[in-house]
Structure 1
Amino acid sequence: MSSLTSLQWRYATKKFDASKQLSPEQIDVLKQCFNLTATSYGLQPLQLVVIKHKELQEQLLPHSFQQQQIVTASHLLVICIEKNIDAEFINRYFELTKNIRNTPEEILKPFREFLLKDFGAKPQQEQEQWAINQAYLALGNLLTVCAEEKIDACPMEGFDAEKYDEILKLKEKNLKSVLILPVGYRAEDDIFADFEKVRRPLRETVIEIKE
């Protein structure tokens, strides 16, 4: 499928076929693409929790406004942010850069010092909001990849993040859940699959500036 055909095919899946499961290879593609998402400064203040555990999914259901996709999806993806973008976190990024690219310290030093100073001055709430912005980039990337791979998905903000953090023991990992994405295969009787997309016309959403 072309990119446009893929995006026309995708929709926010309301009903998954619980009898169908994604393969480990498909999940690996999603994990790799999550990891390749562009993020501000390249810092990747994100982690992805991949859940394929029906009992756990059932436990999360009441904290997801009873949205059945949580339990009928093949897998539940939880996009999390790092709660503290501190000097240790930033320095690890630069050490990784040196190891992978063999970039000399004298080239990295000005950028390193800028980030250490910039994030050192940011209040916790501002750091978290910056990281949340990166989580939405990852979600958008995953949705596009799902469309290209013909994997059905339903992006969700409607869940109790504190309960998710508690059940998944995310606080112990210094993480905070911000978005969830059930993935799998649409049910044949999901009527929403055949609905026409409702989108504003391009003339209302795109501004072209030409010579």
Structure 2
Amino acid sequence: MASEIIEKLQWRYATKSFDTSKKLSEEKIQIIKEAFNLTATSYGLQPLKLVVISNQDLKEQLVSLTMQQKQVAEASHVLVFCTETAVTSTYIKEYFDAVEKARDTPRAVLSPFETFLIDSFSGKSQEEINEWAARQAYLAMGNLLTVCALEEIDACPMEGFEAKKYDTFLNLTAQGLQSVLVMAIGYRSQDDFFSSMKKVRRGVEKVVLEMK
């Protein structure tokens, strides 16, 4: 299994051209949704939402807001990773309500940590909360890139897009959300010559430090 995972990660690349005739099945999209929901986040707070776009007209209109990257229109689906703009005491209390219910944990046991988080976030500026939440979005994208590789779904992660225009166009601001990352997913085109290029990495011996 370990070697299979490495093989799938070798197979993965940032897809430059998608096959427009191939669409992801609902089963594959459900795997993506479930994997997003299971992504690790700081404190388990999940200050994230994922917008899944399959509508072709929407995808085509997003190209001009994504630095003319054609993958957005060609892909089967476009994923927009969004963060919550407000992590309030109510938001945190709702999380602990869910913990209490799911684990049948007495609130008295949870209260010290709940109070700590409420106090901690009440002392953060909006910029600090935005930066913290954005880091969780990167965790989610990293997780989905691996899941896509294991499922042989091609993907192209993108930072090159006009976030504020995305927020307006997709009506995210009104929902208390802001876009952070975009990822096009689908199946690679046979004429995408990048798919056959050898992967270039610094090498394990250069990026891993062992302390024994």
Mark yes or no: TM-score above 0.5: yes
Choose which of 174, 177, 180 in structure 1 pairs with 2:179. 177
Q: Which residue pairs with 2:112 in the alignment?
A: 110
Structure 2 Cα separation of the partners of residues 198 and 21 of structure 1: 29
SS in 1 for 2:158: coil
Please name the residue that 2:66 is paired with.
Answer: 64
1:159 to 154, 158, 161: 161
Shift of 1:204: 1.2
- Aligned Cα RMSD in Å? 0.7
Could you tell me which of 21, 46, 55 is aligned with 1:53?
Answer: 55
1:57 CA displacement: 0.8
- Post-superposition CA distance 1:146-177 (Å, at most 9, x none): 00000000000000001110010001110000
Structure 1 ranges of 4+ moved more than 2 A = none
Q: Match for residue 43 of structure 1?
A: 45
CA distances 1:75-116 after superposition (whole Å, capped 9, x unpaired)? 000000000111111011001111111110110000000000
Identity %: 53
Aligned to 1:3: 5
Residue 203 of structure 1, CA deviation: 1.6
Q: Distance in 2 between matches of 1:104 and 1:205?
A: 44
Residue aligned with 1:155, SS = strand
1:141 maps to 2:143: yes
Alignment correspondent of 1:22: 24
Query: Once the 2 structures are TM-superposed, how far is the Cα of residue 125 of structure 1 from its aligned partner?
Result: 0.3
Aligned mates of 1:27, 1:58 — CA distance in 2? 20
CA–CA distance in structure 2, aligned partners of residues 209 and 58 of structure 1: 50
